Amino acid sequence: MSFIAIDLDGTLLNGQNEISEENRNAIHYAQEQGFEVVISTGRAYFDVQTICKKAGISPCIIGTNGATIHSNDGKMLSSIPISKERVESILKWLDERDFYYEVFTDKAIYTLKKRREFFYHEIQQLKSADLDRDQKKIAAEAERQFDQFGFVLVENYPDILKQKEEVFNIVACSFNQKKLAEAWNRFDMIGELGVVSSADHNIEITNKGASKGNALEKMAFLMNVSLEQSMAIGDSNNDLSMFRKVGYSVAMENAKDDIKAVCTTTTLKNDENGVAHAIYQFMENFALQN
């Protein structure tokens, strides 16, 4: 058995934030041929489950950048939270510097109401400005965050700390690249934390032991699957860890050049059913090799 691990935003989801019929059919075909399909994303499990249910697919799900793993029947196989003490120090630091941030648990995505309104206003201002192509992409990616399911709006970060759920991922957002770099450097130097990015406007903070690659490796052990004969498809910095674990890595055409450079090959864009194209190509090559 082999894995086909697929990132969500910018990869499996098209510009309408949906899984196309072509991609859905390719996933069904791969499953029918005995491949274990895994959605691997920075999104929360309950959000991904809603998207998959709407599309009529039932894959395993690596959520919150590898901090959670769920089987295709919804059973949690693994979870790696951030310590409560560390969550408090992260939120305090972000709050003092006026970041918009989202806090992911297994029940909800917590965020501050006023910061959310301000960030949304920033996005609308960007969209109405005379932007170049790259800036338009950043604005569109930021706006897609508001399409996630499970938001709970609170007044301040102590309201988040009062919740009893474990925290798996904290996403901090800004259109100020210097400010983002400062946050990256701040949290990357803390040994118990891992920092990645899924878009130019954010950083994502998890427990150091949580990554898409580590989660895929854990799943391979539990299910006795060969990673050397598996494929991963993605488009962003937070996909690099799983690219390093598999024998066949695929970058989306809409990925940046530094992502494409580390992959085995490049497929079509997410709006061109690039996932379906990659799956059929991989299965054809897999059949020839076996």
Active site residues: 7
68, 62 in Cβ contact below 8 A? yes
The rounded distance, in Å, linking the Cα atoms of 125 and 119 is 10
Strand partners, 195: 205
Host H or E run for residue 25: helix 21-32
Q: How far apart, in whole angstroms, are the C-alpha atoms of residue 187 and residue 243?
A: 23
HSE-CB of 214 using CA atoms within 13 angstroms:
17
For residues 45 and 39, is the Cβ–Cβ distance under 8 A? no
Residue closest to 206 by CA, chosen among 80, 76, 34: 80
- 241 exposure class (CB count in 10 Å sphere: 0-12, 13-18, 19+): buried
Give the helix ranges, DSSP H, for 35-190: 45-55, 84-96, 113-128, 133-144, 157-161, 177-188
- Quick one: which of 289, 287, 279 has its CA closest to 36? 279
